[in-house]
Amino acid sequence: MILNFFSKGEKSHYSRLKIQDDDDGHLIYVPGDVLKSRYKIKRTLGEGTFGKVVEVKDSFEDRSRIALKIIKNVDKYREAAKLEINVLKTIKDRDPIGKYLCVHILDWFDFHGHICIAFEMLGLSVFDFLKENNYVPYPIHQVRHLIYQLCIAVKFLHDNELTHTDLKPENILFVNSDYDIVYNVRKKRDERVVKNTHIRVIDFGSATFDWEHHSTVVSTRHYRAPEVILELGWSQPCDVWSIGCILFELYLGFTLFQTHDNMEHLAMMERILGPIPYRMAKRTRKTKYFYRGRLDWDERSSAGRYVRENCKPLRRYMLSDEEEHKNLIDLIENMLEYDPDKRISLAKALEHAFFDPLPIHLKHEDDFKLKTRSKTP
């Protein structure tokens, strides 16, 4: 198929170019290619199972940088992209100015079987920043602001009958990830400190409305709630569990549940959080995990030793005895409550003492509305 819908200047560049996909269904392109007679590709930003994200220049708008998600030319990814667009449109309709910190869709189109979605250009993810900083954890005051914003964004989704289902550090992007270099005297090394902790939540490809079919398994393994593993059904509280795992990771610099196996994952939960409630164990159809209501786990096995040596009760991870550290661990405990019906809601989480020291200029306007209403007789 020959590109034949460009301006004169573009035609000279593309006259011999055919639309081609690689063996995996990715669009083959080079910097300088123009899509939809509008978006000029500058560079590749990243790649995932769904496709690629590229930086483009929009010739129609005065936006210097836009991120364009180019979905693989594969039926299942194309259909998933259409569902994501529906969610993104809903988010934009209900929050036109983006005050609830979810990424905004700017445009979308079908380019020869590749669904393309244009977004505002953002910085690194909080995960990539952590990785590039040698997994040095974020300072606690930055953790506070990051998680506060995440709670605001996801509460907005929940209030609009949506569950994100794939919250993880990779799906939280800094608006701008510029940083200062600070020398750590104790560790004798330079470390990066991000200048601006404002974020956007991204990737709504798995987001699910309350009335839609709920897949049996959701979430990336390390952030997966126990009710999902046990196939007990899930709803918005599974997002809260994920946020608790993210809070731990930003605070300490490593993943709380570093495993790829269900049984080992459950054993880690018990080591860190205590026994899984008997009634949850009895309800699950996954009876192979339990014997007489208790996890069927051999602590003397090599896997058992690994869990024992690499996991410890949650409060023993606390980096300091100062009040703000105690409050942080307490919030994690509330978010990692096994029973989703007892797990803290995000409305309650935002009232937690951990967020009290957040400066007023970083508070969300909804906070002030809630406090004003609560004072009204």
The annotated binding site is made up of: 69
Yes or no: say if 72 and 61 are a contact pair by the CB < 8 Å rule: no
Query: Active-site residue 366, yes or no?
Result: no
Report the distance separating Cα 100 and Cα 364, nearest Å. Answer: 9
Yes or no: say if 238 and 225 are a contact pair by the CB < 8 Å rule: yes
Cα angle, residue 370 at apex, residues 364 and 375 outer, rounded to 5°: 135
Look up residue 317 and give its two tokens: 């991870």
Q: Which residues are annotated as a binding site for ATP?
A: 69
Beta partners for 114?
Answer: 111
Instruction: State the amino acid at position 90 in one-letter form.
Output: T
Residue 136 per-residue DSSP state: P
Report the distance separating Cα 269 and Cα 150, nearest Å. Answer: 23
Report the helix count and the strand count for the chain, using DSSP H and E: 12, 14
Residue 332, φ and ψ in degrees, nearest 5: -60, -45
Length of the chain: 377
Look at residues 174, 195, 192 and name the one whose alpha carbon lies nearest to residue 134.
192
Q: Which residue carries 């590039």 as its tokens?
A: 132
- Cβ neighbours for 316, distance < 8 A, ≥ 6 positions apart: none
* Strand 208-209 to 290-291 pairing: unpaired
Residue 279 per-residue DSSP state: H
Report the distance separating Cα 155 and Cα 175, nearest Å. Answer: 20
Cα angle, residue 32 at apex, residues 117 and 73 outer, rounded to 5°: 40
- Would you tell me how many other CB atoms lie within 10 Å of the CB of residue 177? 20
Q: Which of 33, 166, 203, 239 is catalytic?
A: 166
Beta partners for 35?
Answer: 39
Look at residues 214, 75, 91, 227 and name the one whose alpha carbon lies nearest to residue 160.
91
Residues identified as active-site: 166
